[in-house]
Amino acid sequence: MTQARLAEFSGMTQAAISRLERGKCMPTFPLLERISRAFEATLLVTVEPGRGVTVTFADPDDGLRQGSETRIRNGLLPGQRNGGAVAARAS
């Protein structure tokens, strides 16, 4: 999904999506919910002390697939349907 398309589906600007992907800002949970709706996917967040934050977008019809989870330690990853991740910066 392109930044422009994600922006359209989530009610954001393309510039805001770009800032998220580059790790220039930290998304709130309500924002992650909007992005989750745009992907029509379930958002799962796991916080493990000393190991960081894992954020997963899973297709609710397919369930979790191997490799669909991404551990985030620094920055932000671009979102993709079926296994991509969009995550807040972990402390």
**Per-residue model confidence as pLDDT tens digits over 16-43:** 989 888 878 878 889 888 988 888 888 8
User: 67 lies in a domain?
Assistant: yes
Burial state string for 19-45 with b = 16 or more CB within 10 A and e = fewer than 16: bbbeeeeebeeebbebbbebbebebee
User: 40 lies in a domain?
Assistant: yes
User: Which one is predicted more confidently, 65 or 16?
Assistant: 16
User: 79 lies in a domain?
Assistant: no
User: Which one is predicted more confidently, 41 or 81?
Assistant: 41
**How many domains would you assign to the chain?**
1
Q: Percentage of the chain with pLDDT > 70?
A: 65
Tokens linked to 80:
């993709």
pLDDT at 16: 92
Range of the domain at 61: 3-72
User: 60 lies in a domain?
Assistant: yes
What secondary structure letter does DSSP report for 30?
Answer: H
pLDDT in tens, 37-51: 888 888 888 888 887
User: 22 lies in a domain?
Assistant: yes
CB atoms within 10 A of CB 53: 17
